[in-house]
Amino acid sequence: AFTKGILDKTSTNRPSRKQARPLKVAEVLHLEETLNNEDLDLYDRYAAGAFLFAVYARCRWSDLRSVHGCELDIDLSNDKLVGFISFNTFSHKTASQVAKHGLPMPLIAPIWGLNSPPWAMTWKKVAEAVSLDFSSFAKGAILPAPDASGKWTHRSVTSVEATKWLAELLRPFTSELEDVSSHSLKATTLSWLAKAGSDPHHRTVLGHHSSGKKSLEV
């Protein structure tokens, strides 16, 4: 009991946990505008699309290191294009638990974001322009690291590099970037769902958690 008392008192002096904040609605809109802006560098526009996919598919950055099998499932409904874009990944937090079943984790995002046109359709066109055609996407990183000459390499952009690239894309819009990182991407739409009062079970599934109230609360 004496030792526990010491530990409990010590824990109150622990520095506050530094946690990446969700992106604001205006910041996500800025990423969509960056993707649509034909005056900007194609590689930056493609990266903006990759970050938007992580936002709308609620992905950890590590989920996107090695994906395969892109599927663009779209249709016309009341003269409006609707649908989803998806990839499969074996590179995720619980991969070792499901590997024995041979089942990848699907990463699925709606083609529409906050603004018009549908972001995923623009991202597909930009991907083709930078030689990352989704129709022939076999296996690799969603956002490969470029080399010194600007060509794609075979490795994925790391979470640290993704954080820096994301910050540079947002910097023309905002200077409040201290708590923004690649971890912000997954948290964004899950935060919106929580604010909207969405069902906790649905949020657990959409956050790619098999269970665990603690993850949901965080």
Q: Give the pLDDT confidence score for residue 14 in this predicted structure.
A: 72
The structure tokens listed for 135 are 């129709």
Q: What is the pTM of this model?
A: 0.85
Q: Give the pLDDT confidence score for residue 212 in this predicted structure.
A: 59
Query: In this structure, what DSSP letter does residue 24 have?
Result: P
| Cα→Cα distances 185→20, 22, 50, 67, 88, Å | 9, 7, 10, 17, 18
Q: Give the pLDDT confidence score for residue 41 in this predicted structure.
A: 95
Q: Give the pLDDT confidence score for residue 209 in this predicted structure.
A: 73
User: Is 150 buried (19+), middle (13-18) or exposed (0-12) by CB count in 10 A?
Assistant: exposed
Whether the CB-CB separation of 61 and 208 falls below 8 Å is answered with no
First-to-last C-alpha distance (Å) of the chain: 30
Lay out the sheet containing 105-110: strands in order across. Answer: 105-110, 80-89, 67-77, 139-140
The structure tokens listed for 114 are 């906050």
Number of helices followed by number of strands (H, E) in the chain? 9, 6
Per-residue pLDDT of the chain (218 residues; tens, 9 = 90+): 999 888 888 877 776 667 899 999 999 999 999 999 999 999 999 999 999 999 999 999 999 998 988 899 999 999 999 999 999 988 645 545 555 656 788 999 999 999 999 999 999 999 999 999 887 776 889 999 999 888 899 899 999 999 999 999 999 999 999 999 999 999 999 999 999 999 988 888 888 876 656 666 66
